[in-house]
Amino acid sequence: MTNLTNLPSEPFPAIVFPTPGQTMRRRTLAHWGFLLGAGVLVILLAASLLAPLLAPYDPYQQDLVHRLVNPVWYADGTWSHPLGTDGLGRDYLSRLLYGGRISLLIGVTAMSISGLIGSSLGIAAGYFGGRVDTVVSFLVTTRLALPVILVALAIVALVGGSLPMVIMVLGLLIWDRFAVVMRSSTQQLRSADFISAAQATGCSTLRIIIRELLPNIMNNLIVVATLAMSRAILLEAALSYLGMGVQPPLPSWGLMIAEGKEFMFFTPWLIVIPGTVLFLMVLSINLMGDGIRDITAPEGRS
């Protein structure tokens, strides 16, 4: 080996394979959709969380002398109300900032409830198969047959609209996709060698599911979670717009659009502004979800 002639005098540099973490970081930084989504979401998140510091006014404080003041880009707009005021003279920017908290709160909590229900059902169906699978599939089919918006409207209207109620109802209604995706992901791994090995060493079922299975289907879980979050945010906005979700005077974006609708022919920005922010929030969550799917499972990209 040492007598070979063409070798350079120095030893070859060892081939360094990128660690999984490095690969992931490289893919993340190359994925503009993920970066854009994450960037916008971080801004919206920071703006909502810091609302008490950033908001120039109390979002509930009415000022009937200064009703429907135009935003600053209008000729008669002023910097004292950068985004104008609504029909009751409340500062629109302050309401918008506090409204973000409601959307995010509902998105995260409704997603968690539905995620808990849906993933438990889906993993059980995929892992145990047989009768359990039949029952879960039946539950999913039945759930899909019920029109979400109509059932949510009816329940919230009959029981009475409040923030916890809306969260509860949405959480109990939108678990279907969790169940479907977790079921098929679990099925794919069910007969993998590392599951059999864990079974052979005598691990309990719960331990196998939590320690072996869950980490391997986590990426799919996160992707479905982002979808559920944006779905919950959109549904809350629609319910509040129809007057059967979050109740006034809470500054929910859907409610702001409903209140602005009265004046939409003269002051269209009253509905354009909250709608745009709502759209941006959902868009950024979806872009992040798509990005996570691409980054964690590049072989699945089409």
Smallest gap from residue 213 Cβ to other proteins (A): 25
Q: Quick one: which segment of 21-29, 111-119, 180-188, 232-240 binds other proteins (CB under 8 A)?
A: 232-240
Determine contact, residues 261/271, Cβ cutoff 8 Å: yes
Residues 74, 48, 234: CA angle, nearest 5 degrees: 85
Q: Is the peptide bond before 249 cis (omega within 30 degrees of 0)?
A: yes
Indicate whether 40 belongs to the interface with other proteins (CB under 8 A): no
Binding mask 261-300 for other proteins (x = CB under 8 A): x--xx--x--xx--x--xx--xx--xx--x----------
- Residue 97 or residue 257: which is nearer to other proteins going by CB? 257
Q: Quick one: which segment of 39-47, 68-76, 207-215, 233-241 binds other proteins (CB under 8 A)?
A: 233-241
H helical segments located in the chain: 20-30, 32-49, 51-54, 92-128, 130-145, 148-159, 163-173, 176-190, 193-200, 205-207, 214-241, 253-261, 269-296
Of 22, 78, 141, 205, the residue at the interface with other proteins (CB under 8 A) is 141
Determine contact, residues 167/239, Cβ cutoff 8 Å: no
Smallest gap from residue 205 Cβ to other proteins (A): 28
- Residue 97 or residue 273: which is nearer to other proteins going by CB? 273
Query: By rule CB under 8 A, what count of residues binds other proteins?
Result: 43
Smallest gap from residue 242 Cβ to other proteins (A): 6
For residues 24-56, b (16+ Cβ closer than 10 Å) or e, as one string? Answer: eeeebeebeebeebbebbeebbebbeebeeebe
- Indicate the residue type of 132: V
Q: Which residues contribute to the site for other proteins (CB under 8 A)?
A: 138, 141-142, 144-151, 153-155, 157-160, 230, 234, 237-238, 241-244, 254, 257, 261, 264-265, 268, 271-272, 275, 278-279, 282-283, 286-287, 290, 302
